């Protein structure tokens, strides 16, 4: 059953959100967008409709936020609230409608990044949590983690220092390198705390992209197997799932079958494909 972190926005129905909300989190430069660019075509190939979204991409506030960041006069409270506006616009107009249509929503960062950034800037925890109490709980959150030493070459040698990525507004150091290290270290500490609290699946992002991708695939399979589909999938026990298993199970539990029939098929296909790979969970379970 879909839930929020405590409060529901006016007019938002969440009982019929059949899609899956998958969150990719992590600090700057850990390879989130690289992974999303791999995951999206992979999921689509398996027959899932995918919506990808990310911070500062809302129709309402995306442009305004970018403009506001061009100057150096965006305050800390204002910044937190501008991002909250952007997030809620995407939640109401992209994420929720997509989940209602049965999409897999892949989101590049979620409320956790916004919380971490706000905490590093001294915002009150209760205040931020109250704002995001209206956010949906995701089906899975993957936290791509890198140490600061590993992060520096990835970010700095590829695209140079950015004012905001270096947290110049909070850690004005002698130069951007000092600021970058202080800021990203503080962010990581917040992410680590959030990871414990919200039970992120931690993936070591120091591995090469291919390995990280494999980890993510396995994790996403687990997320897709949960909830309403669980009763069907778990019925397969330790043997390989076949079409006949699925049809048989559908007779046992007819309630959700019509609504989810199309989706079962795509899940089934993904499981079959994954199993055929020989490197996924299904295969592991057989051992």
Partner 1 sequence: MEITPGSRFGTFEVLLPVRSLGRETQQHRDDGFPGRLFIVEGIDGSGKSTQLSLLHKWLESKGYGVVFSEWNSSPLVKDTTKFGKKKKMLTAATFSLIHATDFADRTEKSILPLLKAGAVVLCDRYIYTAFARDVARGMDREWVRELYGFAVKPTVAFYFRVPLETAIGRLMDGRDELKYYEAGMDLGLSDDPEESFRLFQGLILKEYEKMISEFGLTVIDATLPIEVQQTQVRQIVKTQLEKAANVRVQR
Q: Is 32 within 8 Å of 144 (Cβ atoms)?
A: yes
Beta bridge partners of 52: 106
Site string for partner 1, 200-239 (x = CB under 8 A): ----------------------------------------
- Single out the residue of 57, 76, 154, 229 in contact with partner 1 (rule: CB under 8 A): 76
Question: Which residues on adjacent β-strands are paired with residue 53?
Answer: 107
Q: Nearest to residue 107, comparing CAs of 171, 58, 36, 165?
A: 36
| C-beta closer to partner 1: residue 133 or 286 | 133
**Interaction of residue 254 with partner 1, rule CB under 8 A:** no
CA distance 115 to 128: 7
Least separation in angstroms between CB 162 and partner 1: 19
**In the complex, least distance from residue 72 CB atom to partner 1, rounded to whole angstroms:** 12
Rule CB under 8 A: which of 113-172 touch partner 1?
Answer: 122-128, 130-131, 133-134
User: Which region among 34-42, 81-89, 209-217, 266-274 touches partner 1 (by CB under 8 A)?
Assistant: 81-89
Residue with tokens 């938002």: 12
Q: Of how many residues is the chain composed?
A: 287
Shortest reach from residue 126's CB to partner 1, in Å: 4
Compute the least distance from the CB of residue 92 to partner 1, in Å: 5
CA 201/CA 137 separation, integer angstroms = 14
| Complex with partner 1: residue 8 or 209, whichever CB lies closer | 8
Give the residue from 244, 144, 262, 255 showing the smallest Cα distance to 204: 144
Q: Would you say 245 and 235 are in contact if contact means Cβ atoms under 8 Å apart?
A: yes
Exposed, middle or buried, 138 (CB in 10 Å: 0-12/13-18/19+)? buried
How many residues bind partner 1 (CB under 8 A)? The answer is 39
Window 84-103: residues binding partner 1 (CB under 8 A): 84-85, 88-89, 92-93
Residue closer to partner 1 (CB basis): 76 or 154: 76
Q: What's the Cα-to-Cα distance from 253 to each of 54, 224, 232, 237, rounded to whole Å?
A: 37, 19, 8, 16
Candidate list 61, 136, 194, 216; residue touching partner 1; CB under 8 A = 61
Q: Residue 212 and residue 202: Cα distance in Å, rounded?
A: 11
Phi and psi at residue 86, to the nearest 5°: -60, -45
The residue range among 8-16, 173-181, 202-210, 270-278 that interacts with partner 1, by the rule CB under 8 A, is 8-16
d(CA 100, CA 177): 44
Q: Look at residues 280, 184, 205 and name the one whose alpha carbon lies nearest to residue 241.
A: 280
Residue from 80, 113, 184, 275 touching partner 1 (CB under 8 A): that is 80
13-21, 46-54, 82-90, 147-155 -> range binding partner 1 (CB under 8 A) = 82-90
Site string for partner 1, 41-60 (x = CB under 8 A): ------------------xx
Specify the stretch interacting with partner 1 by CB under 8 A; choose among 67-75, 161-169, 239-247, 275-283: 67-75
**What is the binding site for partner 1 (CB under 8 A)?**
7, 9-11, 59-61, 63-65, 67-68, 71, 73-78, 80-82, 84-85, 88-89, 92-93, 122-128, 130-131, 133-134
């Amino acid at each position: 059953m879909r839930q929020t972190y405590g409060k529901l926005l006016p007019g938002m129905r969440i009982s019929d959100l059949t899609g899956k909300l998958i969150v990719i989190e992590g600090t700057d430069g850990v390879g989130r967008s690289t992974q999303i660019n791999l995951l999206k075509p992979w999921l689509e190939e398996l027959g899932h409709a995918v919506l990808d979204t990310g911070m500062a991409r809302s129709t309402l506030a995306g442009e305004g936020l970018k403009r506001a960041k061009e100057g150096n006069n965006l305050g800390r409270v204002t910044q937190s609230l501008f991002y909250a506006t952007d997030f809620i616009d995407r939640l109401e107009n992209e994420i929720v409608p997509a989940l209602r249509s049965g999409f897999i929503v892949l989101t590049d960062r979620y409320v956790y990044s916004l919380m971490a950034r706000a905490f590093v800037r001294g915002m009150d925890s209760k205040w931020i949590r109250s704002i995001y109490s209206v956010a949906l709980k995701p089906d899975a959150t993957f936290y791509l983690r890198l140490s600061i030493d590993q992060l520096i070459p990835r970010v700095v040698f590829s695209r140079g220092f950015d004012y905001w990525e270096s947290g110049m507004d909070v850690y004005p150091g002698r130069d951007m390198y000092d600021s970058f290290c202080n800021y990203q270290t503080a962010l990581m500490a917040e992410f680590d705390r959030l990871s414990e609290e919200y039970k992120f699946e931690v993936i070591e992002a120091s591995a090469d992209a291919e390995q990280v991708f494999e980890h993510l695939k396995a994790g996403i399979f687990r997320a897709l197997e949960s909830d309403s589909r669980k009763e069907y999938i778990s019925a397969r026990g330790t043997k390989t799932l076949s079409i006949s298993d699925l049809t048989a199970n559908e007779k046992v539990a007819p309630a959700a079958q019509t609504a989810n029939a199309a989706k079962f098929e795509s899940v089934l296909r993904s499981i079959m494909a994954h199993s055929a790979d020989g490197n996924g969970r299904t295969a592991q379970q057989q051992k």
